[in-house]
Amino acid sequence: MADWYEYDRLRRANAAGAGGILGFLGCLGRLGIYLILFMLAAGAAYALLHPKEALSDIFGGKDEPELPAGQVYLARQRLASGASFKPEDFTLSEDTNDLLVFSSLDWDQWSDATAHAAGAGAVQKPPPGPDLPAPDPQVGDVQITLSAPADRCGQRFFTRIEIYWPAGRPGGGPARQSIPQEVACY
């Protein structure tokens, strides 16, 4: 019964503007505080024992395979932190605000000079206005060639992406594109 009176006293103190976080924790009582401390300790232990999984759980990323040493990488989103080796999918934004989405990529070549893959590609146009929905993506087969490897941020990255749409670019546009890839070091 004493816990109820303590809870009520702290609730009234909080309502009057006193107490803050300490008042809230006092409302929980000892059991609540122990529960919070246990949950924090369990989370910290999990993060120490499984750091990759913990980060993936926090940020929602899918597990990426370990990068093989000494290779040339693709920089996802043009970031060195997004280094990828033979990715199954990636996206690329264009100067026209179109978003190119490549998926189901099958890499038949990956060397120190070039890499080549075939798969599916989609062109997502931006919304025509601020309150309008984006149009449906246009999908087609695509061939990707990565080339022009260069040292960036302490690693080697392909700095050119060549895109070929065998049946023509979905939604119109050039069937062949060559896009330079500047790699930012973060």
14-26 tens-digit pLDDT = 555 545 555 555 5
**pTM to 2 decimals?**
0.63
Most confident of 15-24, 67-76, 167-176: 167-176
CA angle 103, 95, 109 (to 5 degrees): 35
Q: How far apart are CA 100 and CA 94, in angstroms?
A: 8
Picking from 162, 181, 79, 75, the residue whose alpha carbon sits closest to that of residue 114 is: 162
25-64 tens-digit pLDDT = 555 566 666 656 656 655 655 555 555 554 454 444 455 5
Residue 119 in this model has a pLDDT that exceeds 80: yes
76-86 tens-digit pLDDT = 888 888 888 99
Q: What is the mean pLDDT of the chain?
A: 78
Q: What is the mean pLDDT of residues 157-181?
A: 92
23-48: b or e for each residue (b if 16 or more CB lie within 10 Å)? Answer: beebbeeeeeeeeeeeeeeeeeeeee
Is the C-alpha dihedral spanning 65, 71, 72, 78 positive or negative?
positive
